Amino acid sequence: MKNKNLSRAFPRRKFLKTLAIAGAGVALPWPVLAQSRRVGAVGLQLYSLRAEMGADFEGTLAKLAEIGFKEMEFAGYFDKTPSQVRGVLDANGLTSSAAHIPLEAIRNNLNQVIDTAATIGQKYIVLPYMVGADREYDNYARIADLLNRAGEASKAAGIKMGYHNHDFEFDKHDGRMGYDVLLEQTDDDLVFFEMDLYWAATAGIDARDYFRKYPGRFTMLHVKDQAANGEMADVGRGIIDFADIFSMADIAGFEHYFIEHDNPSDGMNSIAYSYNTVSQLRF
């Protein structure tokens, strides 16, 4: 069901753009007018190519730039210093807006994490995963508090804290989910969310419901497809309707779109296929 206050099939600015085109005497079919947007800078979560990055850091980033990627989201730096990472990115016309940082590093070495992010040019630090007791429902409020405090500490450097989901956050406890606790108990000025579309679908969650319920909170997407059998797939080889999801950008707040595949079948070729799908998508 659509929220009439938040979602419109044809937003006002698209309507104005349509009038401008019509006024110029350009006749275009309605589907083209209605689907005129695309992702401007397709990104990649580098966990997808962790083996390749470990074997050839510089060469892997160079190949990704040749494919057409613009943004990198790191998950480890493979013994490179922040300055070295920045140098390789600059040399290939790439940027990195975000990195996945383990919970213990956020808890115990936050100042170093912030300094590293600032040197590389990142604006977002993302908590990607939790294990053990941290996953217990009663501890989600503590995680929310940690994210708020880390977001406050990083604010001076122009950096926000984020949270990336898997499926366990959507487990129900007396009708409540840990993911809801994180959204409700974090400050939207300090903490954003990176919705992993595959893991939400795996949990039986329609991510669009969250975009409507918590507008503006979802700065990033992990663009991951799901095959009919439930397994992860290259983007475009599965069943997730990315065009429909991307069309909610104004509601949800999407600014960064990171392709990811935890274990791509054919490494760089699989990632290139996903890139082509996303870069050609209109919504």
* Mean pLDDT score, 170-193: 97
Asked if residue 281 has pLDDT above 90, the reply is: yes
pLDDT at 36: 82
CA-derived radius of gyration, the chain: 19
Strand partners, 232: 226
Q: In Å, what is the CA distance from 21 to each residue of 12, 37, 39, 140?
A: 14, 15, 21, 50
* Mean pLDDT score, 143-168: 97
Spatial CB neighbours of 210, under 8 Å, sequence gap ≥ 6: 179, 183, 195, 200, 218
% of the chain surpassing 70 pLDDT? 88
Asked if residue 6 has pLDDT above 80, the reply is: no
pLDDT tens readout for residues 134-146: 999 999 999 999 9
Distance CA 171, CA 77 (A): 32
Asked if residue 28 has pLDDT above 60, the reply is: no
What CATH code would you report for 42-275?
3.20.20.150
Q: Which of 60, 89, 114 is nearest to 267 (CA)?
A: 60
- Domain ranges in the chain are 11-40, 42-275
* Mean pLDDT score, 240-244: 98
| Average pLDDT of the chain to the nearest whole number | 90
Asked if residue 1 has pLDDT above 90, the reply is: no
pLDDT at 35: 64
Q: Are 219 and 124 in contact (CB under 8 A)?
A: yes
**Strand 191-196 relative to strand 176-177, pairing:** unpaired
Q: Are 75 and 99 in contact (CB under 8 A)?
A: yes
pTM: 0.87
Q: In Å, what is the CA distance from 43 to each residue of 2, 197, 203, 233?
A: 29, 15, 24, 17
Residues in the chain: 283
